[in-house]
Chain A
Amino acid sequence: MTSSVDKSLELEQVRQRVFLALFIALAIAVHAIEFLLPSPLPWFRVGLANILTVTALFLYGAQAAWTVTLTRILVGALLLGTLFSPGFFLSLSGGLLATVLMTGLYGCLPTRIGPVGVSLVGALGHASGQLLMAWLLIIRHPSVWLMLPYFLLFSFISGLLNGLAASYLLEFLLKHPAFAQLKTARAGRLRIKSHTRNPL
């Protein structure tokens, strides 16, 4: 008579899949909108889609973060018609390095790191990964690296802001009954105020 346990486990898995699909869809939408916005320099983007990767990482772990990042980049490129263009490879290398660093940091300090720290490391990783690929693939000219400090400064700020947004999103999501099981384990680390730990 373990059916109720099975059922709740199954429900949890289905919920996770549905939410992951929503995160991916949202990440692709944000990615596409950001692509359409004018930006002062070709590779300066706020990287709002990373909010969803950070959220998935904190709710469901490293594998979910990888799923969100890779699917976003592939489907986003299909949608925008940039698949296998230089821009796609820039996006891919940035995303790979960002996710390696974010999941690595999360794996090293799973109970102590919060969304702001993870997002910050991801933003810096994204900037360096992009620049590395730009240098390897597009402009084999050392002056590409002159942009590095400005890239890092810009991504430092955007990383903090994205982390703050991810923190708010996580707080909001954990109020929802669908995340009741995750809440007790993670609320402390996310610095979510005590009154949100036990809604209802």
Chain B
Amino acid sequence: MVLGPLLERMTGADRMVALLAGLVVVLSFFLPLQSGPGGRVVVSVENRTVFTAPLDQPRDFSVEGPLGTTHMQIDAGEVRITDSPCPQKICLGLGALGKKGGLLACVPNRVVVNLAGEAVETDYDLLSR
């Protein structure tokens, strides 16, 4: 394995640095990087906002898209798509959303669910490298 030669070639200072760096990496997983809870659910169909509701009140609702009705549910501070007429049901697999700035989408039915906390700046539509 690589570990033998690696340890052999590390000086004492190297090991200290590796230990500290490892600590930084582990700690970075516990940083409160997650954005705060979302405040409002904003649902748009074909880029028009058709529904908005606060995230802290449980409710079921639905919107009409080109393919049919997409059903959604707000429960326990999270929003999820519960049923949709799209063929592959990818939007159902996206699961529940509770964090500000999050996004659920059912592309075939043109439904986009946004969680607005505060205004989010996005200067770029698309980035091509």
Contact = CB atoms under 8 A, between A and B. Distances in A.
Interface of A: 42, 82, 85-87, 105, 109, 112-117, 120-121, 124, 138-143, 145-146, 148-149, 152-153, 156, 159-161, 163-164, 167, 189, 191
Interface in B8-33: 8-18, 21-22, 24-25, 28-29, 31, 33
Nearest to B28: A149
A148 B123 CA distance: 21
Interface in B66-111: 101
A191 B11 contact: yes
A94 to B, nearest CB: 14
Contacts of B24: 124, 152
Nearest to B124: A138
Given A139-B124, A141-B122, A143-B35, 6 more contacts: A109-B13, A113-B13, A113-B17, A117-B14, A140-B122, A163-B6
Contacts of A87: 129
A140 B34 contact: no
Q: Select the residue from A86, A113, A117, A160 with max chain B CB neighbours within 10 A.
A: A117
Contacts of B127: 86, 138-139
A113 B11 contact: yes
Contact of B21 (A112, A124, A146): A124
Interface of A is mostly: helix
B112 to A, nearest CB: 16
A161 B69 CA distance: 53
Given A112-B13, A116-B9, A121 B21 contact: yes
A113 B20 CA distance: 14
A117 B6 CA distance: 11
Nearest to A161: B2
22 contacts: A114-B11, A114-B13, A114-B14, A115-B9, A116-B9, A116-B14, A116-B18, A117-B15, A120-B17, A121-B17, A121-B21, A124-B21, A139-B127, A141-B120, A141-B122, A143-B101, A148-B33, A149-B29, A152-B25, A164-B2, A164-B6, A189-B11
A113 B9 contact: no
Interface in B114-129: 120-124, 127, 129
Contacts of B15: 117
Contact of A140 (B8, B14, B123, B129): B123
Contacts of B120: 141
A191 B2 CA distance: 16
A19 to B, nearest CB: 22
A79 to B, nearest CB: 15
